[in-house]
Amino acid sequence: MTKILVTGGAGFIGSHFVKMLCKEESNYVFCLDNLFTGSDKNLESLKDKNNFEFLNQDVRDEISIKVDKIFNFACPASPIHYQRDPIFTMTTSVTGTLNLLNLALLHNSEFFHASTSEVYGDPEVHPQKEDYLGNVNPIGIRACYDEGKRAAETLIFDFKRKKNLNVKVARIFNTYGPNMSRDDGRVVSNFIVNAILNKDLEIYGDGNKTRSFCYIDDLINGINTICNPDVKSEKPFNIGNDKEFTILNLAKLVLELTNSNSNIIFKSPLSDDPIKRKPDLSLISEYNWQPQIELKEGLKKTIKYFQTILL
């Protein structure tokens, strides 16, 4: 039996990954989460599974289990959450990752790390390719997350170079779908929740900033693709959707799909908020992966999920 540790496994992305792993009876999955932003409700369907175990624990604390694979999703990923306790966020990324790397080294475990497109900061290169070094404000209010993830990548590739650890890193671009919490704080969930409740949709700035939105199923498939033993790379992989939308167009589409009476209102821009974000997917496409789910289709699925928990 393959023993697998998934940290941050009660969160949005982590819970989807845990459920996927538990479908394979030859896997025994340890889900570790301190529930800072995750929810045990995301794992309710697994409570009677014989190959699943939940550990309520902080990733920065000692972990004394022997596992074959480690998948690290532990870290608040939404600005409202990671800015709530920026020191916690930074140490989760750095100390937590170092803790897991040492565990992987001890047991010769395969190691996957969920990094982020935020390592590119407010990019001056568009679209963003993996060899772009980024444009990050190291003392800005987003730095606890951006620089925390950058430091984690440094640790991971030093372990690879110096200790020959088997590592894979994904730089995840904006992802959405079921299991997002109603107070997630990111733009897709904010717009959908407010539209369903007929509250104003708030846009920070003029609405012309762009993002590229990836549906959760595509992301999970992308992670599986790069974690295949046949996939070799000396650098991280971008995973996301390379179709770009303005925030204003996203808001209009959500209103259309929810048949909402909400209004769109414009507020002052947020500090250090990137103007544009779009992945270059050339590297992962070499391994026959491309996103399959269009934004409209993914939003319909996500709206249906939020309607079940809100209405």
CATH number of the domain residue 201 falls in: 3.90.25.10
Based on the domain organization, do 85 and 231 belong to the same domain? yes
Q: Is there a single domain that holds both residue 201 and residue 105? A: no
Q: Is the dihedral of CA 82, 83, 89, 93 positive or negative?
A: positive
283 domain-assigned = no
Q: Which two tokens stand for residue 246?
A: 């303005």
288 part of a folded domain: no
Do 73 and 200 fall into the same domain?
Answer: no
**Is 57 a domain residue?**
yes
77 and 147 belong to one structural domain: yes
pLDDT the model gives residue 86: 96
Range of the domain at 43: 2-175+214-239
What pLDDT is recorded for position 202?
96
Across the chain, which has 311 residues, the per-10-residue mean pLDDT values are 97 97 97 94 92 97 96 92 93 98 98 97 95 95 96 98 97 96 92 97 95 97 96 94 97 97 93 90 97 98 95 77
For the whole prediction, is pTM greater than 0.75? yes
CATH number of domain containing 142: 3.40.50.720
Nearest to 7 by CA among 87, 82, 97, 90: 97
Number of domains in the chain: 2
Q: Name the residue type at position 252.
A: K
Look at the block and give the residue holding tokens 């990836």. Answer: 214
Catalytic sites, residue numbers? 145
Q: Is residue 69 part of a domain?
A: yes
Report if residue 107 sits inside a domain.
yes
* Pair 140, 250 in one domain: no
Q: Which residues partner with 237 through β-bridges?
A: 170
Same domain, 8 and 65: yes
For residues 98 and 191, state if they share a domain: no
Do 13 and 151 lie in a common domain? yes
- 246 contact partners, CB below 8 Å, separation of at least 6: 207, 208, 209, 210
Q: Give the per-residue pLDDT at 273.
A: 86
Residue pair 301/178 in contact (Cβ under 8 Å)? The answer is yes
DSSP strand pairing (214-215 vs 264-267): unpaired
Q: SS3 for 311?
A: coil
- Beta-bridged to residue 6, according to DSSP, are 31, 71
Q: Are residues 62 and 164 in the same domain?
A: yes
